[in-house]
Amino acid sequence: MPRNRASLKESLAGRSEALRERAKRRYEELENQKKAGFAITVWNRYKEIDGADRSGVLALYVLLALFPLMMLARTRLGVSISSRWIQDLAAGQLGLDPGALERYGVAAADHSGSGIVEMTILIGGFALFGISASAVMQKAYARAWRTPQLNVLQRHLRGLAWFGAYFVLAVVEAKSRPGAPVGTRAIAATIALVATFGFWMLTPRLLLARRLTWRATLPTAIAGTVTSVGLRIASNYFVPSWIKYYVEPLGIFGMVVAVASWILITASAWILLAVFGAIWWEQVANPDDVVNFEIHGFDTEVEQDS
C-alpha cells in the first residue's frame, strides 16, 4: 500500500509538472500571437487544424446530405410534406429562386406506389450525412479551440441538435428567397436574420466539450451572421450562372460540379468561423481564462455568466 501511495504521488506530481509546462508554453504562445497579429494567427491556426482538408470533407457530407433532399423533390410523397416544398427548400440552400430546380431538370415526378419507401431511404440518407457533417464541425471546433472532443453519446446528441437547428434555419431562409410574396419575404428575412444569429451563437456551445460564456460566443455569432448573409446574397448572383455555365456542356454532371463548388466555399467559411471565434477570444480574453479553459476545462467567468 505505501508503495502504491508513493507511485500515485509521483504520478500526480509528474502530471502537475506537465500541466505547468503546458501552461507556461501556452502563455508564451498567447503573447507571440498578439505580436503576430490577428489575421496571421487565424491563418496559422487554420493550417494547424488542417482547415482545407476539413473543409473538403465537410463539403462532401453537405453535398451528400443535399442531394437526397433534391431527389425527394422528384417524388410525389403522398404525405403532408409536398414535393414542391422540398424542391424549393433544396433550391433555397443554393441561392436559387423557388422552382429553379425544375428548370434545371430536377422536376417533381410521379413515382406512385413507392413514395413512402423512397421518402424513408432519402430522409435517412439526408439525416445520416447531415450528422456526419456535424461531426466534422465538432472536430474542427475542438481543434480550433484546443479542447477535447465530445464523447460518442454527446457527439451524436449534440450533432443531431446542431443539424436540426441548421435545418430549421434552412426552412426559414427558403421563405425569404425571391419568388415569395413581398410581405412574406420581409417577415421571413427578419426571422431568418435573428435565427442565423441565434444559430451561430449556439454553435460553439453545442459543438465544444467545454463550457463557454455567452459573451465568448458573441464574436462567432456576429461574424457567422455577416458571413451567412454575404454568402446568401452572393449565391443569388453566382450559383445560377455557374449552374447554367456547367450544365450546358456537361448536363446533370455540370450541375453537380457547380453545386459542389459553392458548397466547398460555404464549408471553408464555416471552418474559418470556428478558427475566427477561437482566436478572437484568445486575443481579448484574460490569458488566465484561456489557459484555464484549455487545461482545466472551464472559462473562469462561466459561473457568474450562466
Question: pLDDT at residue 83 above 60?
Answer: no
C-alpha 201/C-alpha 205 separation (Å) is 8
| Grid cell for residue 267 | 464549408
**Long-range contacts formed by 235-239: CB under 8 A, 24+ apart:** 235/94, 235/95, 235/262, 236/95, 236/178, 237/95, 238/95, 238/262, 239/94, 239/95, 239/96
Q: What is the pLDDT of residue 92?
A: 55
pLDDT at 55: 94
Domain residue ranges in the chain:
48-296
pLDDT in tens, 115-159: 566 667 777 777 788 888 888 999 999 999 988 888 888 888 888
**pLDDT mean across residues, the chain:** 74
Tell me the C-alpha distance between 162 and 130, whole Å.
10
pLDDT value for 58: 93
Given a cut of 70, is residue 82 above it in pLDDT?
Answer: no
pLDDT tens digits for range 177-208 = 655 566 666 777 788 889 899 999 999 989 98
* 80 pLDDT tier (thresholds 50, 70, 90): very low
The CA distance from 164 to 157, in Å, is 10
Render pLDDT for 233-244 as a digit per residue (tens, 0 to 9). Answer: 888 778 777 777
Asked if residues 58 and 116 have their Cβ atoms less than 8 Å apart, the reply is: no
Lookup: cell for 64: 451528400
Rounded to the nearest 5 percent, the helix, strand and coil shares of the chain are 80, 0, 20
